[in-house]
Chains A and B, each alone.
Chain A
Amino acid sequence: MTYTIDEWFVVALARTIRDREVVFHGFGSPCAQVAMHVARRTHAPDMLLIEGAMYAINPDPPFIPPTSNDNSLKQGAAYSMRFEEFFDAASRGDVDRMFLSGGQIDGYGNTNVTAVGPLDRPKVKLGGGGGGCNISATIGQLTLWTTRHRSGRTLVSSCDFITDIGHVTPAGDRKALGYSGGGPQWLVTELGIFDYDGSGIARLREMWPDVTEDDVRSSTGFEFEVASDLGTVEPPSPAELAAVRAIDPLGVRRSEFDPGELQRTFEVALH
């Protein structure tokens, strides 16, 4: 049996969730969205899953549609929060984890989803950050991810615009800014997985088996530390793979990847 990088990637995102956490994803985030459901169906059955743009609590959607605001995503939820109910909870510190991505991500985990290039005449006007600008300051931990690391344009030395807060900004660190949230804990890319060291800089912890440290370095615009026990990402279990496939029959997670990346196929090891 084989599996593909999109499936393994989603499983790696899911593993950043701990059981009994309150977890949220934004819109336009199918990988994070699928990952949250995988976590809830495997190792984190008692998490509180807040479904993106629906604000539904612990739904069991029959499939994940390619839009985040669809009634299929609140199927099976006994309760849906109001918009303000979720954002108030996030602002007062009652949400433990949020998934965040960006067109640009710097070494401190600041993200740009607003514009690449000069602000008055951007080279690329990105979509915008939803609620991230405010609540990235107050949510417990952030799992950052990107499926575009290899492009060389995503992990940058500095963001052209900071939409969402990482560990350290030009205006100071989280402590100086008075923010209660812990900031980025993980950065998962299609090349590897980073955590953050004591100074708030990304540190490479694991890579996928078909990736080298040179691949990571040549695609990364910032200097990063490498963990002394740099390892390989733990392969997905049969239960995790089954959960990915059951939750996402339409394969919306694949829409985040360059078609070339989706050719990356792996064999389930036989024990």
Chain B
Amino acid sequence: MFLDPDKRVDLSTAAGMVADGDVVALGGGLSARLPMALIREMIRQGRRNLHVVGSAHSLDVDMLVAAGAITVCEESYVGFEQDFGLAPAYRRAAESGTIQVKESCCVTILTQLRAAEMGVPFLPVRGIKGTDMRRLHPEYAEMTCPFTGEVLVVVPPLRPDVALLHAPLGDTRGNLYMEQPYVLDEHFASAARSVVATVDKIVATEELVERGITIPAHLVRGVAEVPFGAHPASSYPHYAYDRSATGAYIRAAGTQESLESYLDEWVRSTDEAGYRDRQGSAELERLTTWSESVDAWKGLFA
């Protein structure tokens, strides 16, 4: 439990709470609430040998793989859906064997987190038998239920060293407010040894209480205020997904060489204030217009 009354840190300190070799849980999912500012800062700091776990992910994992920060990938999905397709750097690394893919399944990961949350050494899970998933997970076992005689796959607890979460709002103590879907964030927060969060904005505790607190402060080790800290992922109610910025990454990701130039230009050669400047304030503001009309919202995806 983290009991300091003021958990505010700068982004560099926050990213420094992740050590090389850590098991790192990534919050959010697909194009929403990805902890992108923390991802970029870890790349700037040259983090290595991470074992990343998550549900369905995209740019966060792909960019860490591109930067050579990941050794083991354990998610249920990494990609850009039908829109931009397979994840370019992740795919290259998996096909050339430079990362170990321990692909998993949403329910299995959830069950492993629940075991960690409950402090029990295993839990049973439905499915898996008959699939090839155990070729990726020799640590799973089978057990006969003492009550029904059913044979079930059992899985060990998953206790990440750190969970990296992004929330639109938080307070100085580290209470976090999120909009649904929370995906696995609540479970990551309880199961992990610590939570490091970014928030678009720090507000008074009373405002958070009014909206409802999603992750309580006692689970959070540090919170950094970073405007557009999930960009190009969405962080509702503030801003929608930046599809064109994501497209720019995909176009740069054709080869590792062009991807290195992208990382140099957008990440390594600048900080988050510089990143926002280079994205352009008009472009970023455009993402906040989603609530003005259906046409404005739809236009962000055209």
A residues apposed to B, CB below 8 Å = 27-30, 53-55, 62-63, 65-72, 74, 80, 82-84, 87, 90-91, 114-115, 119-138, 161-165, 169-172, 177-179, 249-250, 252, 255-256
Contact = CB atoms under 8 A, between A and B. Distances in A.
B222 interface: no
B237 to A, nearest CB: 8
17 contacts: A28-B77, A28-B79, A65-B298, A66-B243, A68-B81, A69-B29, A69-B183, A124-B95, A125-B91, A125-B94, A130-B106, A131-B107, A161-B132, A162-B132, A178-B151, A250-B298, A255-B83
Contacts of A256: 82
The 3 closest A-B pairs by CB, nearest first: A127-B79, A134-B127, A131-B106
B298 A249 contact: yes
Q: Is the interface of A mostly helix, strand, loop or mixed?
A: loop
A178 B150 contact: yes
B131 A164 contact: yes
| Size category of the binding interface on chain B | 35 or more
A128 B53 CA distance: 13
B228 interface: no
B129 A87 contact: no
Given A30-B82, A65-B298, A127-B86, 17 more contacts: A28-B79, A53-B181, A55-B181, A65-B241, A67-B32, A68-B81, A71-B240, A72-B297, A83-B183, A90-B107, A122-B94, A125-B86, A127-B77, A134-B105, A134-B128, A163-B133, A255-B83
Contact of B180 (A66, A80, A137): A80
A53 B30 contact: yes
A82 B106 contact: no
Interface string B80-100: 011100110011001111000
A90 B90 CA distance: 30
A63 B294 CA distance: 8
Contact of A67 (B83, B103, B187, B297): B83
